[in-house]
Structure 1
Amino acid sequence: MPVVNMTPKGTLTSNILVVISIAAVFYAITFPIKNVTRKKPGNQENIVFNFTQMTTQNGYTSEEHTVVTEDGYILRIFRVQGGRKCDGKRRSLPVLLMHGLLLSSDVWLDAGTDNGLAYLIANACFDLWVGNCRGNYYSRRHETLDPDTDAKFWHFSVDEIGHYDVPAMVDYVLDYTGAEKLNYVGYSQGASTFFIMCSERPEYCNKINKMISLAPASRQFNTALNPYRLLLRLFALGHQYLRAMGVEEVLSNGAFLQEFLAYACEAYWTSSICNYGTSVLIDSYHPGSVTNETTKIMFKHFPAGTSLQNMVRYGQSAISPDFQKYDYGKDINIDVYGQETPPKFNLSAVTTPVVILYGKNDALVSVKDVKWLVSKLPNVIDLVEVKDPLWNHLDVAYSQYIGEMLFPKIFEHLVTNSIN
C-alpha cells in the first residue's frame, strides 16, 4: 500500500488557521471605532477626564509636565503637589510612580481617593510625580516621527523604555525640584524598566534613594498558562503577519477592543461580568477585591496602548529563563548586539536598595519568578508577601484594599532612609 504524505495539506490548514487568528487579533487590537457615543449611567462623567481633571475634581492640586528623551520621544508626566489630607510640610524626597504594561498614569486614580496609590502617596505629603512611558495615549508624540505614519516610532520595547524614558523622567524630576535623589515606585513593567535602566546605565542607581517594586516583571518564565500567556505567544509567533499588515501600534485606547469593553462594562450588571472575566482571563480570581465601580472606570483607560514590538518582547520573556534583551533573530542580533543571541541584563548592577512586594495569587508575575529575581539582585532590603493569600497582579492597581494591604509597607519605606 502506498504511503500518502498528508503534511502539505496539514501545513496549509495550519497556516490558514494562523492567518485567521492573526487577522482576528489584528481587528480587535487595532481597528478604531469612530464617533462612538457612550451613555454614562449615574454621575460618572469624571471617568473620561484626563489625569489633572480627575485629581482636581477630587480636591487635589496637579500639574502637567513634558519630558523629552534623548531619542526624541515626548512624554507627559504629572505632579501631584497637594494631597487633600496632607496637613503637614511636604516631605523632602520626591517620589516617581511608574505604571505597568498597557497602562498609564490614570491607573493610579482608578481605585478612588481612598485606595488609588497616587491619592494615598499625595495624602502622605510627598511630592509625587506620575510618569507615562512612550506609546500610551499620554506619550504618543515625538520630535520628528509621526506615530500615525512612521513605523519607526513604534520600534521599541521595554528595553528602550528602560534605557531612555525612565532616565529622562528621573533627570527631569531631580532638575526641576533640586533634589539630589528621589524614591522610585514601579509596578510590573514599571519595575522591570528600572532594572533595565540600572543595568544599562548604572550611574542612575546613585540617583535613587530607594526603589519600591510592586509585582516586578523581569522574566515571565513561570507565568500561568492562561489567555494572557497565549496572547503573548500569539504576538511572538505571528508578529511578522501583523507587520505585513502594517500593524505597529497595538491595544491602543480607541481601538475596537478598548471601545467595546468601555461601552459594554458601563452598566452595573455588565460591570460585574467584566470584573469576573478580567480576573479569570488576565489574572487569577480574587472575589470582591476590585469593585464593579472601579471596573467601569478602568476600561476607560485600559488598555492604554503600546508597540507590537513590546508585546513580542513580553512573548519572548514568557519562554526565556533569563531576563534578556529583545530577540531580533540570529542574523539581526549579530548586527545589533554583535552576537547571535540577545544579551542578558546585568541585574548585579542594580545597587539601589530594593524593596519587593508581591502577591501569592499573582498569575502574571509568579512567586517563582519573583524569587528568581531576588536571587539576582544584590541589594534587596525587604521582600514582602502581601498578607491576603488571594492578592493578585491587578490588585496592585485596582483593589479596594490597597490602602490596607499595600500602602502601609510602601509608606514605611518611603519615610525611612535607604540602607547603603
Structure 2
Amino acid sequence: MTVLVLAIILTLSTLRGTISTGLPSLDPDVGLNTVEIIENHGYPCENHYITTEDGYILTFQRIPHGKNDDGSGKKPAVLLMHGLISSSADYVNMGPNRSLSYILADIGYDVWLGNARGNAWSRNHTTLDVVDDAERFFDFSWHEIGHYDLPAAIDYILNLKGDDNLYYVGHSQGCTAFLVFASTRPEYNDKIKMASLMGPASIMEHQFGSLLKVLSKYINELEAMFAKYKIYELPYPEVIREVALNLCSQPDFSDTCEAILSTVDGADETQLDISKLPVIFSNAPSNAATKQFIHYGQQIKNGGFAQYDHGAEKNKEIYGTETPPAYDLSKISAPVGLYYGRNDRLVPYQDVETLIGKLPNVAEDYLVSWELFNHLDFIFSTDVVDLLYVDLIKVMQQY
C-alpha cells in the first residue's frame, strides 16, 4: 500500500472547490511524469514494453547508467517495484542523492523501474481494451502482478542483457508481489541475486487503527458493492491527484496534507519533506484494480497470507478447496532482506517478524532505528539514505 487509500478520495474531493488552481513557483519536478523527472535531472531514460503471459502490456522505465557515466562496461541489473496505487515515480520523486534509483545508477547499477498492470503506465493489453473491457481487464489482484508481471519483466531484462540473474527491490505491494512470485514460481529463485523488501506487506494480523483495518470488517460487502456498481478500478485517480497537488501546493494547507498522510501511515513529521508533496502528488495515486484492495482486506480479516478468496463455491472450482490456499513461503530460496519500521501502521513490525520466521534464506533483518519510521518513509523520508539505503546497498553488494 502506498501514498493514499480509499478514504482520502472522499477527504480531498470535499476540498476540491475550496482551493486555488494557480500553483506558485515550486520544485521543477512538479507536474512531470517519471520519464520527464529522470531526464530533468540529466539522467538517461528508456521506456521498455513488456508483454505478460496473459496479455498485459507493461511499460517499464530504465536508467541504464548514472549521469556521469558514459554507459560503457557491464552493469548488474536491479528491478525496483512500487506499492499499491503507485508507479515508478516513487523511486525518482525525491531527486538525486535521495531517491534510490539515482543512487543505484550512480554507483554502477542498471536500474529498471517497474509499473504493475493497470497503473497509469501499464494500461494496454493484446486483446482487451481498458475502457470497453474494463471488467475483464481489471480482473486481477496483486497475485497476478506477482505470478505474471514479475516473471515477464525478469525474463525480458535478463534476455536483453544476457545475464543469469538480477537484484530486486520492492516497497509494500512490490514486496507482496515478490513473495507471490518467488513462492508460486520457485524456479525463478535462481534468477534473483537478492531481494530487498521494504515494508513487506503480506501477513497483516497486527493492523491497528488503519483505514484498511476498518474496511476489512466489511470486505465482503465492499466487494459486492464494487460489483453492483461496476467499479473495477480506483475511482477518479486523476481528480485526486489534481486536488492533492493543488492542496499541498498551498502553504496554508500543508498541515492538512501532513495530517492525512499521518492518518494513513503513521505520524513522522520530522521525516516528511512538505516541499516534495506537490512532486509526489503529480503522479500519485496511480490507477489500480479494486481487487487489489479487496485482497489486502481479506488478509487482514482472515489472517495468514493466502490467495484471493472468491467464496467457498468458486474457491472449490478454482483451487479444489473451499478456502484459498496459503502461499508456501518455504519455497522462496533466494536471499531476502527485510526492512521495516516500528511506526508503520500498514505493515506492523510484529507481522514482519512473523514473516521473517517463515522465510528460509533471510539475508538481512533490519528494523530501522528511527522510532517514528513509517510506511512512506521507505521512499520519501528526509534521512532515508542514512537510515536505510546505506545498509540496503551494503547487503546487496555482498551478493
Q: Report the TM-score when normalising by structure 1.
A: 0.87
| 1:197-208 map, 5 Å | 197-208=181-192
User: By how many angstroms is 1:109 displaced?
Assistant: 1.3
**What residue in structure 2 maps to residue 370 of structure 1?**
352
Structure 2 residue 100 is matched with structure 1 residue 117? yes
Matches of 2:57 and 2:111, distance apart in 1: 20
CA shift in 2, pair 1:397/1:234, >3 Å? farther
Structure 2 residue 98 is matched with structure 1 residue 137? no
* 1:185 maps to which of 169, 172, 187: 169
CA shift in 2, pair 1:28/1:361, >3 Å? closer
CA shift in 2, pair 1:229/1:86, >3 Å? farther
Per-residue deviation, residues 330-366 of structure 1 (Å, max 9, x unmatched): 0111111111000000100000011111111111101
Matches of 2:121 and 2:71, distance apart in 1: 31
Matches of 2:216 and 2:105, distance apart in 1: 35
Matches of 1:76 and 1:252, distance apart in 2: 21
| 1:52-67 map, 5 Å | 52-67=35-50
Q: Is the 8 A contact 2:9 2:240 kept in 1?
A: no
Matches of 2:217 and 2:339, distance apart in 1: 27
User: By how many angstroms is 1:66 displaced?
Assistant: 0.4
* 1:230 maps to which of 214, 218, 222: 214
User: By how many angstroms is 1:322 displaced?
Assistant: 1.1
Structure 2 residue 180 is matched with structure 1 residue 196? yes
Computed over aligned residues only, the root mean square deviation of the Cα atoms, in angstroms, reads 2.4
* 1:96 maps to which of 59, 74, 79: 79
User: By how many angstroms is 1:195 displaced?
Assistant: 1.1
Structure 2 residue 203 is matched with structure 1 residue 219? yes
Q: Is the 8 A contact 1:90 1:125 kept in 2?
A: no
SS in 1 for 2:265: coil
User: By how many angstroms is 1:319 displaced?
Assistant: 1.6
Give the gaps of 5 or more residues in structure 2.
Answer: 1-5
CA shift in 2, pair 1:175/1:198, >3 Å? same
**What residue in structure 2 maps to residue 260 of structure 1?**
243
Q: Is the 8 A contact 1:78 1:130 kept in 2?
A: yes
User: By how many angstroms is 1:272 displaced?
Assistant: 3.5
Matches of 1:172 and 1:105, distance apart in 2: 17
Q: Is the 8 A contact 1:137 1:253 kept in 2?
A: no
**What residue in structure 1 maps to residue 229 of structure 2?**
245
SS in 1 for 2:96: coil
* 1:47 maps to which of 16, 26, 30: 30
Matches of 2:51 and 2:21, distance apart in 1: 34
Letter in 2 for 1:325: Q
SS in 1 for 2:45: strand
CA shift in 2, pair 1:28/1:289, >3 Å? closer
Matches of 1:39 and 1:264, distance apart in 2: 11
Letter in 2 for 1:402: V
Structure 2 residue 260 is matched with structure 1 residue 273? no
**What residue in structure 2 maps to residue 69 of structure 1?**
52
Matches of 2:26 and 2:235, distance apart in 1: 28
Per-residue deviation, residues 168-212 of structure 1 (Å, max 9, x unmatched): 111111011111110111111111111111111111111111111
Matches of 1:158 and 1:24, distance apart in 2: 20
* 1:379 maps to which of 330, 343, 361: 361
Matches of 1:189 and 1:252, distance apart in 2: 21
Letter in 1 for 2:145: I
Matches of 2:221 and 2:183, distance apart in 1: 28
User: By how many angstroms is 1:131 displaced?
Assistant: 0.4
Per-residue deviation, residues 235-279 of structure 1 (Å, max 9, x unmatched): 54322112111110115531x433322222221232332023211
SS in 1 for 2:302: coil
Matches of 1:68 and 1:29, distance apart in 2: 35
Percent sequence identity over aligned pairs = 33
User: By how many angstroms is 1:305 displaced?
Assistant: 1.6
SS in 2 for 1:209: strand
**What residue in structure 2 maps to residue 107 of structure 1?**
90
**What residue in structure 2 maps to residue 6 of structure 1?**
none
Matches of 1:159 and 1:63, distance apart in 2: 27
Per-residue deviation, residues 198-229 of structure 1 (Å, max 9, x unmatched): 11111111111111111111121212222243
**Rg: which structure is higher?**
1
Structure 2 residue 265 is matched with structure 1 residue 286? no
Q: Report the TM-score when normalising by structure 2.
A: 0.92
Matches of 1:90 and 1:100, distance apart in 2: 32
Matches of 1:251 and 1:414, distance apart in 2: 38
User: By how many angstroms is 1:393 displaced?
Assistant: 0.7
Q: Is the 8 A contact 1:284 1:363 kept in 2?
A: yes
Range moving further from structure 2, 291-300 or 98-107 = 291-300
